[in-house]
Amino acid sequence: MNNQYTSIFKDYTFKRGVTLKNRVMMAPMTNFASDEEGKVTDDELVYYKVRSGGVGAVITAVAYVTRDGKGFQNEISADSDEMIPSLKRLADTIKGEGARAILQIFHAGRMAPKEELVEDRPVSASEVAALRPGSITPRELTEREIENIIDAFGAATRRAIEAGFDGVEIHGANTYLIQQFFSPHSNRRTDKWGGTLEKRMTFPLAVIDKVKEAVNAYASNPFIVGYRISPEEIENPGITMEDTLSFVDVLSEQDLDYLHVSVQDFWQGSIRDDQDKESRVTMIQERVGNKVPIIGVGSLHTPDDVKKALDTGVPFVSLGRELIMEPKWIEKVQAGQESDIATTLSRKDQETLVIPDVLWSAITNTPGWFPVED
């Protein structure tokens, strides 16, 4: 291994006692590969198996905690005890290759696609449609329904524990339900669940409390609790960086193992103000990095990119597209073969890279997402 990359391979022990062998995680990426009931498939397991040998941890594609919160075709389910054997297959596959296994859990809220709806409308904090073509105006959740969803996050955490996962990541980012409660665009409530900035934190904090409650009740081994956050929204009104800095101040006091910042590029500035070029990841690191570990992500393609990100003080990075194109990214850096890391893919690579069919179709038919060579 090239000595300049030693920082990538330092181990780390989280406050709850789980140790990772290095500072790189596999980012959570939807792969559209479970069956219609939400059970993992053999194709999905092989996809994870080849990518779990080098990284310190794998954060899975998101799993829904209630059926009305399903956000994608062929998504993983964690909504009933019937799913525990399926989840165990996934955890065992990841851990069998040497990585820690973290199950990402969520509710899609108003972002649930029409073809996956249980009712005629999705649900959300308020009856406000997302600003995207074809969006359906959601139904406002009742207080009882809100409490039931919070309980569902706890139940999904218990299932992850029983399935043998090393942790869960609460998906509070990317415009899904938890973020919808924090956002002034999607949350227009005037009860205890909305209104002021502090009240818009109520639902996310209740979810965190319920997840921690499940960990305390059911986990006999150390178990990670992480939280993913999006720093800003483009909507007006929408989440501002000032809102987020206030929020991470509170999150840093919630006994979380980490905060995972969801952005397209580690170094990108504001999506609300083109003149503001300061990295949102480093802003959060500077604000609360001394209280809770931060995971950075986004367009970190090479070992030099990862080293530069870690040099900011952020203790972890997660890699997404990089591990799809190069499943052995970590192993090649460790072996001093960084020049052999694949940074593009061709239309003939699906079998070699063991990428499930629907994900492969998305990769090859979404211009600009991946560097696809003919």
Which residues form the catalytic set? Answer: 176
Query: Based on C-alpha coordinates, what's the Rg of the chain?
Result: 19
SS3 225: strand
| Residue located via tokens 């009860």 | 191
The tokens for 61 are 């594609």
Alpha-carbon gap, residue 247 to 243, rounded angstroms: 6
The maximal CA–CA distance of the chain, rounded, in angstroms, is: 58
Cis peptide before 237 (omega within 30 of 0): yes
CA angle 78, 136, 369 (to 5 degrees): 70
Q: Which distant-in-sequence residues (6+ apart) come within 8 Å of 351 by Cβ? A: none
- Could you tell me if 34 and 75 are in contact, meaning their C-beta atoms sit under 8 angstroms apart? yes
Q: How are beta strands 372-373 and 19-20 bridged, if at all?
A: unpaired
- Could you tell me if 230 and 174 are in contact, meaning their C-beta atoms sit under 8 angstroms apart? yes
Q: Of the candidates 152, 167, 41, 40, which has an alpha carbon nearest to the alpha carbon of residue 106?
A: 152
Overall residue count recorded for the chain in this entry:
374
For the chain, strand residue ranges (E) read 12-13, 19-20, 24-26, 57-59, 63-64, 76-77, 100-106, 123-124, 139-140, 167-172, 224-229, 258-261, 294-297, 316-319, 345-346, 372-373
Q: Of the candidates 310, 305, 278, 276, which has an alpha carbon nearest to the alpha carbon of residue 294?
A: 310
| Residue located via tokens 């990585």 | 99
